[in-house]
A and B are shown apart, each in its own frame.
Chain A
Amino acid sequence: AQSVTQPDIHITVSEGASLELRCNYSYGATPYLFWYVQSPGQGLQLLLKYFSGDTLVQGIKGFEAEFKRSQSSFNLRKPSVHWSDAAEYFCAVGLNNAGNMLTFGGGTRLMVKP
């Protein structure tokens, strides 16, 4: 069965600093890859997705992610973090032959220092 690992449970960065959230997946083929963000008391908002093609994908709110097949990773980055980015971030994997269910990582909680 596929699995998704987000090694960092909590990350704190200063406002204006760069951000990288790590995500590793375990699966034999290349799955569909997603990053979602969840603000307190809110649902999950899709930030970006990777299906195929260019391994650097751009998303909303200035986020980008890079798919590295050799490392089975799909790390999320942002060059300059804003206080409003404080939230929980989830990496997810989807498989076309598994009813397209999403398997989520455990999440990384981002805190932003002023």
Chain B
Amino acid sequence: DSGVTQTPKHLITATGQRVTLRCSPRSGDLSVYWYQQSLDQGLQFLIHYYNGEERAKGNILERFSAQQFPDLHSELNLSSLELGDSALYFCASSVDNYEQYFGPGTRLTVT
């Protein structure tokens, strides 16, 4: 158990819908990272927040957005969902921006 929690574990929704994925970092970690794991793209970095501020963006679609709240939990919002958005979404946290500890992931299925 890494100490990073993610909810929900599974999510099934229809195309065009919007969903919110939630992540709680390890106690004391200020950094939260979001990654997407899909069969065709592999593991890809989406976005990094540090203590509430966006620090870096990767291959994140404009339909996707994220934020980190004062209590340091983070949410990833995915809108206008397409079939190709079906993937595992991981959150990771870090205290020193070096070692990242991953949560169990949220499996999103878009039908």
Q: Are A and B physically bound partners? A: yes
Instruction: Please tell me if the beta carbons of B42 and A43 are within 8 angstroms of each other in the complex.
Output: no
Distance of A103 Cα from B56 Cα, bound (Å)? 13
Within 8 A of A (CB), among B27-43: 31, 33, 35, 42-43
Give CA–CA (A99, B94) in the complex, Å. 12
- The segment from B12-20, B66-74, B75-83, B95-103 that touches chain A is B95-103
Q: Is the CB of A90 within 8 A of B43?
A: yes
**B43 contacts across to A, CB distance below 8 A:** 90, 102, 104, 107
**Minimum CB–CB distance for B104 against chain A, Å:** 4
Q: Are A42 and B104 in contact (CB under 8 A)?
A: yes
Among A80-95, those with CB < 8 Å from B are 90, 94
Q: How far is the CB of B109 from chain A (nearest CB, A)?
A: 14
Asked if A60 is at the interface of the complex by the 8 Å CB criterion, the answer is: no
15 A-B pairs besides A43-B4, A107-B42 with CB distance below 8 A are A32-B98, A43-B90, A43-B103, A44-B90, A44-B102, A46-B101, A49-B99, A99-B56, A100-B33, A100-B56, A100-B98, A100-B100, A101-B33, A102-B100, A104-B44
Residues of B within 8 A of A (CB): 2, 4, 31, 33, 35, 42-45, 48, 55-56, 58, 90, 92, 94, 97-105
